[in-house]
Structure 1
Amino acid sequence: MRGREVTGQLVDLINTVITNVSNINFSPVFVPMYYNQSGPLLPLLCNPFNHDLTDRPCSPGELDLNNATQAWSTFVCQVNPNGTCLTTGRLTPALYGQMASCVNISTGLIRDAPFLVQLQDCSYAKQTFRDITNDHCPGLTRYGYWVYVGLAILSTAVMLSLMFWIIYSRERRHRKQALPEYSESKEIVRVNF
């Protein structure tokens, strides 16, 4: 959803620039906006989503995101060192480059955002392992279960061994404390009957 929202915002930004800068014939007095725009008007970019982020068909005269950069390239003029158009055109090469970058980002978001969301919530990895299990290794689930059971038995055995070792060492320590003269004595005591 966030990819659709950002794409819509980028398309709105590009269309604002087209409507308010490129398609207006400014007077040379407005230096920041004037670059000698001339020729046919630049077509607007199609926003593929409505404001509620549902799919929207393009209206006649709007450019699709997939072919917008090619269509706009015919509106690029040649500029002098000041950045003013010397030939007929509505876009300077710099402005065209920025608009093309926005279109490429929007296209990438539409194309790659669903995959990135799947990576984020691990559904891609889960589906991949599910496909491998079902298509290539049908016995993997059964053998995986037995491996799990074996590891559970092994961990239980190690835990019980550790508990018995603690009990054994504790008893041994108590035995040493109960009979200190025999534990420290190195003499062999003989008993005659």
Structure 2
Amino acid sequence: MTTILHIAASPRGAASQSAKLAETYLDARRAAEPGVGIDRLDLWQAELPEFDGDKAAAKMTFFGQGEMDGPRRSAWDQITAIAGRFIEADEYVLSVPMWNGGIPYKLKQYIDIITQPGLLFGFDPENGYRGLLEGRTARVFYTAGVYSPGAPARYGADHHSTYLGWWLDFIGVAQVETVRLQPSLMTADPAGDQARALARAAELPLQMA
């Protein structure tokens, strides 16, 4: 059975445009594949630990700096427990609003917790980094209230999809489909943009089939 992990990065609940897109996709996916398992991770309700000094020190032991002592082992166990839920999924659905040109800080915190050597990526001095999650797929739903692709620079920059695209590639997730709902103040038909984005989200499972 396919397991989908839906990572909700907006705190707005049912009012979130990115969540509406993701839920439209997931509803269509359930209809196309009734046996699919969906695990929803609301980052604003999850208990995410701080990535503090012990966790950073535990990470660096994989690069030959220090030893995995008691406090570091305890910190690493926290990380592996959170990362395990991510690793067990076959597909990732991310609903992500743009905040100040980038991603919400809760999503960045989550990424910093789980993106660890031996879990999501490997490293060797000769070949550098390699992602460990080959074979997974991702569906990313991007929204913004001001920024829109092609808008003048005064309407903002995209450190939103560019960052997440880099991160997914870094951890080995190469099959990524995106849906955008990013009307700017110059958009002539925002309601039409929304309808088209929802239709695109609903069509994705059919394209996959």
Q: What's the TM-score bracket when you normalise by the shorter of the two chains?
A: under 0.3
Larger gyration radius, structure 1 or structure 2: 1
User: Larger strand proportion, structure 1 or 2?
Assistant: 2
Query: When the two structures are superposed, what TM-score results if normalisation uses the length of structure 2?
Result: 0.20
User: Larger helix proportion, structure 1 or 2?
Assistant: 1
Q: Greater RCO between the two (CA within 8 Å, min separation 6)?
A: 2
